[in-house]
């Protein structure tokens, strides 16, 4: 897996190239050498996330830019709270502004959404887990944001964990055949999870030696029965993860069935950017 520093550098480079292209035509209206300071404010309650991406947008264009933060990633901020002050070249600040805010608004939205789900299931045994349903090219960034909101990362990609889904099972010739094949070929220590769609398939997976099972679109009563079923099995209890049609309205009920993990694609794909404001003023 790539380190976060390299990922931020590449994310920001692509964003700036996409926005600036051959040059910022509007920035040419500003006298060269003019300096400005700016203040970024949150217009709503949120969990802040994306500080490093935000900074990199400005520092890539103008390393001498000074940014002073009044909150950190993972901290809850309130509406009208000042997040940071920026001072530097007026042209560079204006050129980097949109890309920087895009990162901060989007990643704060992911962190905030995650925090809502985490808070909704407090005092239960369940944890909130993300998925691979991320914006293309921004997976590591969004998964970082999930952790800032108190969630847990599932596998980063197809390379660091195995999730045997319905189509894999069909192609392999059944649950037992799929698990046998994976256990014979997976690198040592690889997490192996299999998806099932009924209690019958859950029992089949347990009999086949599954240690982690994804319960896809199970109703609440089915989730409760699945938990009871795993408790009745000999040996170490199978880890159960619920997924599918889980919202803030029902996530507490899902958690109270005794499930271990709840995976939610909406943490990273169904988000609304946090409303932030960046306003400039003359430097003294």
Known catalytic residues are 98, 133, 165, 195, 216
Residues 6+ apart with CB under 8 A from 27: 91, 94, 95
- Cα 84 to Cα 10: distance, rounded to the nearest angstrom: 23
Q: Which residues of 213-241 are buried (b: 16+ CB within 10 A; e: fewer)?
A: bbbbebeeebbeebbeebeeeeeeebbbb
Q: Identify whether the C-beta of residue 158 lies closer than 8 Å to the C-beta of residue 25.
A: no
- Cα 59 to Cα 51: distance, rounded to the nearest angstrom: 12
Phi/psi for 161 (5° steps) reads -175, 160
DSSP state of 93: H
CA nearest 43: which of 94, 100, 101, 99?
A: 101
| DSSP conformation letters of 128-167 | EE--S---TT-HHHHHHHHHHTT-B---SSTTS-EEE-HH
């Amino acid at each position: 897996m790539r380190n976060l520093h390299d990922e931020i550098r590449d994310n920001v480079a692509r964003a700036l190239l996409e926005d600036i292209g051959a040059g910022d035509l509007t920035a040419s209206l500003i006298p060269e050498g003019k300096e400005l300071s700016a203040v970024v404010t949150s217009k709503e309650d949120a969990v802040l996330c994306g500080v490093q991406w935000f900074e990199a947008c400005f520092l890539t264009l103008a390393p001498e830019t000074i940014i002073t933060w009044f909150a950190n990633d993972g901290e809850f901020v309130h509406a009208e709270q000042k997040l940071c002050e920026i001072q530097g070249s007026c042209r560079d600040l204006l050129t980097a502004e949109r890309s920087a805010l895009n990162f901060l608004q989007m990643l704060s939205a992911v962190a905030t959404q995650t925090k809502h789900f985490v808070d909704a299931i407090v005092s239960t045994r369940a944890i909130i887990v993300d998925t691979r349903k991320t914006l293309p090219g921004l997976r590591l960034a969004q998964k970082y944001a999930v952790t800032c909101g108190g969630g847990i990362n599932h596998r980063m990609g197809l390379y660091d964990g195995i999730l045997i889904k319905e189509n894999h099972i069909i192609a392999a010739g059944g649950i037992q055949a799929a698990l046998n094949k994976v256990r014979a070929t997976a690198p040592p220590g690889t997490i192996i999870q299999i998806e099932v769609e009924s209690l019958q398939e859950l029992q089949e997976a347990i009999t086949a030696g599954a240690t982690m099972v994804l319960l896809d679109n199970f109703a609440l009563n089915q989730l409760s029965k699945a938990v009871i079923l795993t408790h009745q099995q000999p040996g170490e209890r199978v880890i159960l993860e619920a997924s599918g049609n889980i919202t803030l309205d029902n996530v507490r009920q899902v958690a109270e069935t005794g499930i271990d993990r709840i995976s939610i694609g909406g943490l990273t794909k169904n988000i609304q950017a946090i409303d932030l404001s960046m306003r400039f003023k003359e430097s003294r």
